[in-house]
Structure 1
Amino acid sequence: MAILTDLGALVWGYIIPFLFVLTIVVFFHELGHFLIARLCGVKVAAFSVGFGRELVGFNDRQGTRWKISLIPLGGYVKFVGDDNAASVPDRAAVEAMSEEERRGSFMGKSVGQRAAVVAAGPFANFILAIVIFAALFSIYGRSYSVPRVDAVHEQSAALEAGFMPGDVVLSVDGEKIQSFGDLQRIVSISADIPLAITVERDGKEVDLVATPKRREITDRFGNVQKIGLLGLSQNTQPDDRYTVSFGPLEAVGEGARETWHVISRTGIFVAGIFSGREDADQLGGPIRVAQYSGQVATLGLAALMNLAAVLSVSIGLINLMPVPMLDGGHLLFYAYEATVGRPLPDKVQDVGFRIGLALVFMLMIFATFNDVKSLVGVDVGW
C-alpha cells in the first residue's frame, strides 16, 4: 500500500506537472514550424506530440496526421520529403517526386522559405514566453521592493566594495534597478565578474565596483545551487514594497522585457560554461526539470506557468545553437547555401547530421548524469 502511495505521489507530484509544462512548450515550438510551413505552401505529413508508437490521432483536410505518441518527451513536425522527425531530407524520395509534388515538399522551397520555417519554432517559444509573462502580469501585477540595503555581511564582496546600510541601488553596469529582486538576478549569474554599481547614499550618487563571490546556497526545496553573492540583505518594510498593475498592452511590453531578460541572462550563463567561468554541473536534463516542475507546482498554477515561460525561452535558445540536428544547425546550412548559391554537398550534410546527433546525445547523457548526481548528492570531482 505504501508503494502505491509513493507511486501516486511521484506521478501527481512530479510527472504530471513536468508533462504539463513540457507539452505546452513543445506543442508551441512545433506549431511555429507548422504554421509557417503551411504559409509557405509546404505539405506537412505529421504533427506529433511525443515520439514512438501513435496512441491516438486523426487526419485533417490537408492530409496532415495529428497524433499523440507513446513517449511524451518532445514532439515533431514531419514535412513531405523528410527522412525523419529532425527534417533530414529523404533525397531519394524527393528525386522520385513529380514536379508538382516537389513544389509542395520542404526541399522544394527556396532557401529563404526553408529558413523561415525552421526559425519559426524557436521564435514561437519566445512568443509563448511573452504571452505567459504578459498574462501573469496582467492578472497579478508585478511586485517590487525598493533596493535598499539593510545590512552588509562581514567578509563579503559588498563590504570590500564599500557598501553601507541604507544605500539604495540605482543601477548595475548601466542597467536600471527597480527592485531588490532585479539586483539579485544580475548578481546571481555574475560570480567573479566586476560589476559597476551606482547607489544613492545620503541624497548623493556613489559609484562602487563589486565582484560577487561564488557560493553554494540551498533553496526552499533543498536544491543546492552555485551562484554569485554580494553579501547584502534586506528587511523589507511595508513602505518599501509595492505592486504595479498593467493593462493588456503594457503587460505585453513588460512580458517582452522579461523574456529578453531571460534570453540575455541565459546567454551569459551558457557563455560562462564554455569559457569555464560557470560550472557545467549546473546543466540539468529532464529529471531536474521534472523535479523543479513538481516543486514549483506546490506554489500554484501561476508559479508553474512562470516556469513554463522560462523553459520555453531555454528550449528556443537551445534549438538555435548551430548544431546539426537542431534548428540552428539547419539555419547554418541555409546560410551557407544563401551565401555560396548552392547547398552543402550531401555527404557533408550527412556527416554534419551524424556529428550533431552524437553531440545531442552526449549533452543529454551529461545533463541526465548531472540530474542523478544532484539527486543522490554524489561528488564525482568534475
Structure 2
Amino acid sequence: MLESPGFLFTILAFLVVLGPLVFVHEYGHYIVGRWCGVKADTFSIGFGRKILGWTDKRGTEWKIGWLPLGGYVQFAGDRDAVSQPDANWHNMPAEERSHSFPAQPVWKRALIVLAGPVTNFLFAIAIFAAFNMASGVPTTPPVVGAVEPGSAAEAADLRVGDRIVAINGGAIEKFDDIPMAVAFDLGKPAELAIQRGGERIDVLLRPRVITETDRFGNKGERAVIGIRSGEIALEPVNPLAAVQAGAAQTWGIVRLTGDILGQFLTGQRSVKEMGGPLKIAKQSGEMATLGLSSLIFFVAFVSINLGFINLLPLPMLDGGHLLFYGYEAIRRRPAPPQAQEWAFRFGFAVIVTLMLVVTFNDLGSIGVWDRIARLIG
C-alpha cells in the first residue's frame, strides 16, 4: 500500500475513477436512445480535440477527447453537445428526421435524458451489491454498547443497553444508521426515541462537532453523539437481498447529498467546502493508495454524486432538460425558444460561476494559495 500518492499516480487514479463513470452515464443516454429509434451522431468521452476515434456501422462516431472532464452523446438533430436542437432539423430528409432527437415525442426524449443519471445510480447499486455479497450486510442492532465520557450521550443520560429506534422522526434499524443520521447536521439538536426496557423515552441532545484529520492531512467536520456499538454483526445475503441493500445504501447517499446541498443553499455550510475535479482527482489518488476496495467504493460514491448533480434543474444539465419536457408535457407545446435561450444562458452562467468557485477551493486544498502567499510575503 502506497503511503502518499504521487502526481502521475493521482492522474491515473482520477482517470480510472472518472473515465468509466462518464462512459456509464453517456452509455445510458445512448442505449435508451437506440431503443427509442434515435440515431446517435457522436459518442464522446472527454471534450475538445479528438485523440482517438472511429465510426461504427450505424454511423456513430466514437471518440476520446483530450479534456477528460466529462462526455456527451450528440443525437441526430442536436445543435451541440448539450442537446440544444438544431434550428434546421425540420429540413432534414423525412427518413433521417424520423430518427432525430427533436422529432421524438416528449416521453421518449425525457426517458433518454433520464437514462444517464439513472444508469449512474444503477452502477452504484451494482457495486454495493457486489460488496454486500462478498462481505455480508451490517446488521448490528442500534443498541448502545458504550457511552463516551464527556459526550452529548452522557449529558443526555443515555445508558448501555438503550435501543435507539428513531432520530428526528427517522426510523433507525441498525447501528450504522445512527452516525449517518447526525454526522452531517453540524451539531443541530437531535431528538432520539429510546427503548429502555419496556419504556419508550424521548431524548433531546446536541451532538458535538469534531474535526478529524486523515492520514493525508485532509480535515473534515462531523457531529457525534458519543456512543459505541456492541459486537459488530455481518449477515450473509442472497443476490436479491444484496441488491436491495445496495439500493438502500445508494438512496441514503442521495438523501445525504441533498441535505448537504440544502445546507450550502441556506448558508449553514460555507461554499469553501465545495470541491470540483481537482479535489476528486486528489481523493482518487488517496483512495487508490488505500487499496482496490476503497477505490471501487469511491467510484460508487462519485457515480451517485454524478447522477445527482445531473438531475439538478439547471439548463445544460439533464435536470434542466427534464424541466422543459415537464413544461411541454403539461402545456402540450414546447417552451418559447426565447425562454429556452435565456434559461440556457442563465444555466451556463451558474455552472461557470460554480466551476470558478470549486476550482478556487480545489487550488486552495492542494496548497496553491498558501505557496503564493509565502512567495509574496
Q: Structure 2 length normalisation: TM-score?
A: 0.90
Determine if contact 1:152/1:164 at 8 Å carries over to the other structure: no
Q: Which residue of 2 aligns with 1:29?
A: 25
Structure 1: any 5+ residue segments left out of the alignment? 1-6
How far is 1:356 from its partner? 0.9
- Distance in structure 2 (CA, Å) of the matches to 1:206 and 1:375: 47
- Distance in structure 2 (CA, Å) of the matches to 1:318 and 1:287: 17
How far is 1:145 from its partner? 4.7
Matches within 5 A, 1:220-235: 220-230=215-225, 232-234=226-228
Q: Which residue of 1 aligns with 2:105?
A: 110
- Distance in structure 2 (CA, Å) of the matches to 1:221 and 1:167: 36
How far is 1:178 from its partner? 4.7
SS at match of 1:91: coil
Amino acid paired to 2:192: I
Matched, 1:376 2:372: no
Counterpart among 254, 266, 271 of residue 275 in structure 1: 266
- Distance in structure 1 (CA, Å) of the matches to 2:217 and 2:164: 30
SS at match of 1:241: coil
Counterpart among 1, 8, 11 of residue 11 in structure 1: 8
Matched, 1:43 2:42: no
Matched, 1:356 2:356: no
Structure 1 runs of 4+ off > 6 angstroms? none
Counterpart among 64, 75, 80 of residue 76 in structure 2: 80
Counterpart among 144, 158, 172 of residue 177 in structure 1: 172
- The 3 A distance-change label for structure 1 pair 260 and 23 is same
Matched, 1:260 2:251: yes
Q: Which residue of 1 aligns with 2:290?
A: 299
Matches within 5 A, 1:138-153: 138-143=133-138, 145-147=140-142, 148-153=144-149
RMSD: 2.3
SS at match of 2:84: coil
CA offset digits 1:233-289 (Å, max 9, x no partner): 43x66xx12222121111111111111111111111111211222232221101111
Amino acid paired to 2:128: F
Q: Which residue of 1 aligns with 2:373?
A: none
- Distance in structure 1 (CA, Å) of the matches to 2:145 and 2:135: 26
CA offset digits 1:337-375 (Å, max 9, x no partner): 111121122222112111111111111111121222223
Determine if contact 2:17/2:299 at 8 Å carries over to the other structure: yes
How far is 1:144 from its partner? 5.3
Counterpart among 49, 53, 77 of residue 53 in structure 1: 49
Matches within 5 A, 1:201-350: 201=196, 204-230=199-225, 232-234=226-228, 240-350=231-341
Determine if contact 2:153/2:227 at 8 Å carries over to the other structure: no
Amino acid paired to 2:95: E
How far is 1:142 from its partner? 3.3
Amino acid paired to 1:116: L
Amino acid paired to 2:323: L
- Distance in structure 1 (CA, Å) of the matches to 2:364 and 2:161: 42
Amino acid paired to 2:28: G
Q: Which residue of 1 aligns with 2:374?
A: none
- Distance in structure 2 (CA, Å) of the matches to 1:373 and 1:179: 38
Q: Structure 1 length normalisation: TM-score?
A: 0.89
- Distance in structure 1 (CA, Å) of the matches to 2:290 and 2:227: 24
Structure 2: any 5+ residue segments left out of the alignment? 371-377
